Amino acid sequence: MKDWFTYFLVIVLIIVLLKQCEGDERTVAKTKIEYVKVTNTVTKTKIDTIFKKVYVNKYVDKQGENVIVYVDKPNDSTIEANKYNTTLLSNNATAELEITTTGELLDVQGTINYSQKETTTETLKIRDASGLFIYGNMPVNSAQPEVGVLYQIKNKMFISAGAQYNQFTKSADLKVGLGVKIF
């Protein structure tokens, strides 16, 4: 009857230790900051003084908007205009512009380039893992080799089993062990 009580007590102790191994998962957040080049259209301009002669046809489309079409050679319906190329600089942006005018502003084309900060956060959930290890052991002062296995449970505890050759009895000794994480 006493052996059953001992077995029951050992089983309860193992269950309590295994329950202690259940831990919360850790969350690790990695933040990556990246600067990307962004291109937008131009809304305000500053005109430079260097220009090139161009020829344009000016039309009104179905929505009532003025449409400018550039042509290579002049004809009866073309307008001679001046085309200005300029670069605008600011704190975080550069604007490359082409302005077409006859005194009346006909067309503004260009791009604004600036760096935009883009932040990406990646969240990782890390759970403690279990693992099986094989070990070998050779004492320094005697030739009694030992081999065995260790099973680590969620980085909290381990259970070990091994066999060691005993030179005095000329037989193998079986060993079992239990280790608990202290800190």
* Tens digit of each residue's pLDDT (9 = 90 or more) over 25-42: 677 778 887 777 766 655
- The arithmetic mean of pLDDT across residues 8-12, rounded, is 76
Q: What is the mean pLDDT of residues 76-105?
A: 82
pLDDT band at 94 (very low <50, low <70, confident <90, very high): confident
Mean pLDDT in the chain? Answer: 78
123/76 Cα distance (integer angstroms): 66
- Measured CA to CA, the distance from residue 68 to residue 81 in angstroms comes to 11
The pLDDT value given to residue 46: 60
Mean pLDDT confidence for 31-60: 72
pTM of the full structure: 0.40
Look up residue 58 and give its two tokens: 């000016």
For residue 112, the model assigns a pLDDT of 79
Residue 169 CA: distances (Å) to CA of 96, 164, 165: 92, 11, 9
pLDDT score, position 25: 67
Residue-level pLDDT at 41: 57
Q: Identify the pLDDT of residue 102.
A: 85
Helix (H, G, I), strand (E, B) or coil at 175: strand
Q: Which domains does the chain have, with CATH numbers?
A: 2-23+128-180 (3.30.1300), 33-121 (no CATH)
Return the pLDDT at 21.
63
In this predicted model, which residue has the larger pLDDT, 36 or 151? 151
